[in-house]
Structure 1
Amino acid sequence: MNIARWLYQTALARPDAPAIRLGTEQVADYAAFAGASAALARHLATGQGVGQGDRVAIFCRNSVEYLPVLQAIFWIGAIAVPINSKLHPREAAWIIADAGASAVFTEAGGVFETSGELGIPCPEIALSDPPVAGLLSFGPAAAAPLPAPAAVAGDDVAWLFYTSGTTGRPKGVMLTHGNLAAMATCYALDVDAVLADDHPLYAAPMSHGAGLYHLQFTRAGACHVIPASRGFDPSEIRALAQALGNLVFFAAPTMVKRLIAASGAAGYQGAGIRTIIYGGGPMYAADIDEALALYGPRFVQIYGQGESPMTITVLPRDLVADRSHPQADRRRASVGFAHAAVEVRVVNDAMRDVSAGEVGEIIVSGAPVMKGYWRNEDATAKTLVNGWLRTGDLGTMDADGFVTLTDRSRDVIISGGSNIYPREVEEALLNHADVFEVSVIGVPSAEWGEDVMAFVVLRDGADRSRDDLDAWCRARIASFKKPRHYRFVESLPKNSYGKVLKTSLRDRAATGRDAAP
């Protein structure tokens, strides 16, 4: 089944339902949304020669045109290659060439004229060019019947998701129409109800998790909201929530932290926000407690990877907010239990289950798990083993099935022969009232193999020394785990969806930048 049939059916059943807003202004109903997608699909097929299975890249910021472009690619059975708009054009060009794309959408054209050769014949299609701009103008739907999307198999690839590439060249994750349908179905079963009067907001990049999540809302006939800023702005989110109501959105933990800080300063307690789904990085206990205290039970946690998009585990809103269960605090610090369509295990190096509470690698199997890596059989064979996706994430599972992440396997610090999990140290430091953000890495040590180094962002007006933080850690965690080095910085380097870039911190540590006095 072609995932574009969800838009097709909604347009037939609810043609007049509001579909897309720019800020508070409606720009399309579902007849116009589907009509624009189908018209652009026809243009791609007849004007650009794009056929079923061909790859079409999207290198654009969030916009009202983004979803129709994505759906147009699905409509003809081609494969969408959404690319993080914050990448350098040379980085995007590498992805386009690796995917063997037949075309790439950009906002105004000319992006790749000065960025070097793409290495393949690949026309750049500007959203602002008259033919495409006209097709995406959301004018009145044509009188002719809406053409049905192309027939495809469930295991045909729909979305080529390129990983962030923090440890080398990014890999193309092949997500099929069936993978996407399973992910969206899991959302409705496990994460949150999907309502026709919802306003899904795209404050995070549509090339990643936020864009993946548009599918279930399209099926329900909800109205997609693109912020006028086209990004994340706490004051804008507050205004949209109060004007529209039933705001639902995905946010990285760092975005939640910024939103709560700004809301607290403004005296805003979340009116108009129905649900915030957070994931993509660790949400520390102190941060979610602060968020719950201000906003109440509006939060759902998910854990996933590009290889199993948004669907490994889930912690529903009632369990995020629960205070009555004997294990409530521990559960809230976990990432929840397995999504409905997957099985999750924690295993040792031999892929055998470890005991409850023992640290091992998290592996997952089920309908949302990727088909494999694009044109990379070696990486696929190493990652998909006997039907199980090896996530590379370390964690524990308790007797009730709740999974708690410790760290990425590559981030574990081994000092004096003992494993130190950065998140444990980060949690301890974040409980200090003057610490706003922190990230912990390992640095080379002639004596111990590795030492713990903490990059610390203090709250405004705070003035703390390493001795203060040393004493704080010594009172809360084993002495061998506490940082031997501190760097006090104004901010932590992050990618466009809020993950702290520990590779960048390692580079800064090696060069001695941001050294504490």
Structure 2
Amino acid sequence: MNIACWLERIAQIHPNRPALHLGRDCVSDYGDFHRKALQVAGWLRDKGIEPGDRVALFMKNCPDYLIAQYGAWYAGAAVVPINAKLHGREAAWIIENAAAKLSFTSPGLTEALAQAGAAGKTVDIGSSAYAGIFQTDPTGTPEPRDPADLAWLFYTSGTTGRPKGVVIDHRMLMTMSLSYLADVDPVGADDAVLYAAPMSHGAGIYNMVHVLMGARHICPPSGGFEEAEIFDLARHFGNVQMFAAPTMVKRMTQIARATGETGEGLRSVVYAGGPMYLADIIEAVDHFGPIFIQIYGQGEAPMGITALSRHDVADRTHPRWKERLASVGRAQSAVEVKIGDAEGRELPRGQAGEIMVRSDVVMPGYWQNPEATEKTIRDDWLLTGDVGFMDEDGYVTMQDRSKDMIISGGTNIYPREVEEVLLTHPAVAEVSVVGRPNAEWGEDVVAFVVMAEGAEMDQAALDAHCLDQIARFKRPKAYFTLNELPKNNYGKVLKTELRKRLEEI
């Protein structure tokens, strides 16, 4: 089944229901959304796009993103979402690797692709050629697809090298979407989803469940994350759901506290995509109330591994509420999760190992990369590369990426544990902990710190703070101050860059 049929079905039943908004303005109801997707599909067929072909979306957040996406699906093609913040050369590499025949682009990004010599045809959504698509009569119906057919070719962030294409099929997207309703949050026609994070990633991949339920889709006029704009749109629409990276949640809390914003109209904020530090989520809940839900997923198992419910995030009555809040929650309904040793054998509860996942939400493999697939999928289990443990109640606590774990004197040290402690010091705004080679001990723990406004580095004070809360061998042996931590386009700290800086110090 083609997941785009969800749009066709809701348009048949509720054609006049508001669908796509740019800011406060409704630009398409569901009937119009469906007609435009059919027009795009017909145009793509005329341009030689056949079922199974790839169509790239190198676009900023806007209503036409969804129109182009569903149009490509109606034509039986697979979409290749590309973050609009990438350099033209990076986007061109993805387009070439995916063998995309055509790319939809936003004004300004078309030129970046042209300068990079991107392959295939490019259509700017601000051009007369794109506008002409909607002067034709909509014809045909959505192309039938098998559940195992490629739907969304997602490229990983590439923090350790070239990004890999994750094959996401229609079954995976359906499983993920229905799991959202079962494990994350209900959705109704009166709800609205706000796209403040890139639609090429976590924010956009939740569009399908909101289409299924006939909810409203809101693209901020800024095209991205602006705190004041989010608060204004949430107040205007009400019942707003949004996806946010932990850094976005922290920023929203800081701005709200400084300006007196209450988050009126924000019903649900689903956070994922990086470590959410305990101090940050406690502060966010204290200010906004019980609106937060955590999910854990990867490109290889999109948004669908575990979920920490709204109740668990806000609960302060359970005797182990802090431990639960520091976890990533329990397995979602459609998945099996276990903690495995180096051979994939399940470990006892409470013992740390690799988080492993088996489900219809797990990818069949990487795009044209059988070697990487073989390393990542073992006996149908996805090896996430994340280290964690599961408690007796099924809550999974992720300690770190396996490649980021520090081994000093034969003992494993998880950087996140040290980061959590340092972030509770008032002089520390941001911190990232990495290992530094040591001939005697293997590795030393070192911390890169962004100081809070007006604060100065006091290594002795930070040492004392660490020694009050963690074992002596875990405390950093050195501290380095930075004006900002190096991050990729999705807000993840680039620890590879920090390790390179250590080589230069």
Query: Into which bin does the TM-score normalised by the smaller protein fall?
Result: over 0.9
Q: Which amino acid aligns with 1:243?
A: H
What is the rounded CA distance, in whole Å, between the counterparts of 2:133 and 2:319 in structure 1? 57
Query: Are the counterparts in 2 of residues 40 and 132 from structure 1 also a CA contact under 8 Å?
Result: no
Match of 1:405 among 394, 398, 401: 398
Output one character per residue of 1:196-236: Cα deviation in whole Å (capped at 9) or x when no partner: 11110111000111110000001111110001111101111
Match of 2:115 in 1: 114
More divergent stretch after superposition (368-377 vs 454-463): 454-463
Deviation at 1:446, TM superposition (A): 2.5
Per-residue CA deviation, residues 239-293 of structure 1 (Å, 9 max, x unaligned), is 1111111111000000000000000001122211000000111111111100010
SS at match of 1:206: coil
- Other structure's SS at 2:63 match: coil
Query: Aligned partners of 1:187, 1:484: CA distance in 2, in Å?
Result: 43
Q: Aligned residue for 2:420? A: 427
Deviation at 1:396, TM superposition (A): 0.5
Q: 1:22-70 CA deviation, whole Å, 9 max, x = no partner?
A: 1111111111111111101110111x20000001111111112101111
Following the alignment from structure 2 to structure 1, what is the Cα–Cα distance between the partners of residues 237 and 251? 21
> Which SS does the other structure have where 2:346 is aligned?
coil
The question of whether the paired residues in 1 share the 8 Å contact of 2:196 and 2:224 is answered with: yes
Contact 1:62/1:230, CA 8 A, preserved across alignment: yes
Report what 1:290 is aligned to. Answer: 283
Q: Distance in 1 between matches of 2:470 and 2:432?
A: 16
Match of 1:113, SS state, is helix
| 1:85 and 2:84 are equivalent in the alignment | yes
| Secondary structure of the structure 1 residue equivalent to 2:317 | coil
The SS at the match of 1:185 is helix
Work out the percentage of aligned pairs sharing the same amino acid. 50
Give the partner amino acid of 1:66.
Y
The residue number in structure 2 matching 1:56 is 55
Equivalent residue letter for 1:76: A
Deviation at 1:462, TM superposition (A): 2.1
Instruction: Give the equivalent residue in structure 2 for 1:308.
Output: 301
Q: Given that residues 57 and 96 in structure 1 are in contact (C-alpha distance below 8 angstroms), is that contact kept between their aligned partners in structure 2?
A: yes
Q: Which residue of 1 aligns with 2:389?
A: 396
Does structure 2 conserve the Cα–Cα contact (< 8 Å) formed by 1:273 and 1:298?
Answer: yes
Whether the aligned pair in 2 keeps the contact of 1:301 and 1:315 (CA below 8 Å) is yes
Instruction: State the distance in 2 between where 1:112 and 1:326 align.
Output: 55
Please give the alpha-carbon distance, in whole angstroms, between the structure 2 residues aligned to 1:59 and 1:22.
18
Shift of 1:501: 1.5
SS at 1:110's partner residue? helix
1:453 and 2:451 correspond:
no
TM-score, with length taken from structure 1: 0.95
Note if contact 1:205-1:496 (Cα within 8 Å) is conserved in structure 2.
no
Q: CA deviation at 1:434?
A: 2.3
- Matched residue, 1:12: 12
Q: What letter matches 2:52 in structure 1?
A: G
Q: Is the 8 A contact 1:5 1:148 kept in 2?
A: no
Contact 1:281-1:499 within 8 A present in 2 as well: yes
TM-score with structure 2 setting the length: 0.97
Pairwise mapping of residues 217-236 of structure 1 onto structure 2 (< 5 A)?
Answer: 217-236=210-229
Aligned equivalents of 1:171 and 1:114: distance in 2?
Answer: 23
Q: What is the deviation of 1:135?
A: 3.5
Q: Which residue of 1 aligns with 2:143?
A: 150
Kindly state the Cα deviation for residue 510 of structure 1 after the two structures are TM-superposed. 2.2
**Aligned-partner residue type, residue 90 of structure 2:** E
Deviation at 1:497, TM superposition (A): 2.2
- Is the counterpart of residue 488 in structure 1 residue 481 in structure 2? yes
C-alpha distance after superposition, 1:116-148 (max 9, x if no partner): x44x5x111111221312436xx9x96x7x742
Deviates more, 1:498-507 or 1:365-374: 498-507
Q: Once the 2 structures are TM-superposed, how far is the Cα of residue 344 of structure 1 from its aligned partner?
A: 0.2
Instruction: Show structure 2 runs of 5+ residues with no match.
Output: none
Q: Is 1:379 equivalent to 2:377 in the alignment?
A: no
Give the CA deviation at 1:9: 0.7
Q: Match for residue 126 of structure 1? A: 124
Counterpart check, 1:267 vs 2:260: yes
- Answering whether residue 101 of structure 2 is matched by residue 102 of structure 1, we say yes
**Matched residue of 1:229: which SS?**
coil
Determine the structure 1 residue equivalent to 2:186: 193
CA-CA distance at 1:433 after TM superposition = 2.0
Please list every run of at least 4 consecutive aligned residues from structure 1 whose deviation after the TM superposition is greater than 6 angstroms: none
Q: Deviations over 1:378-416 (max 9, x none)?
A: 111111111101101000001111000000000001112
- Distance in 1 (CA, whole Å) between partners of 2:354 and 2:486 is 26
What RMSD over aligned residues (CA atoms) do the two structures have, in Å?
Answer: 1.4
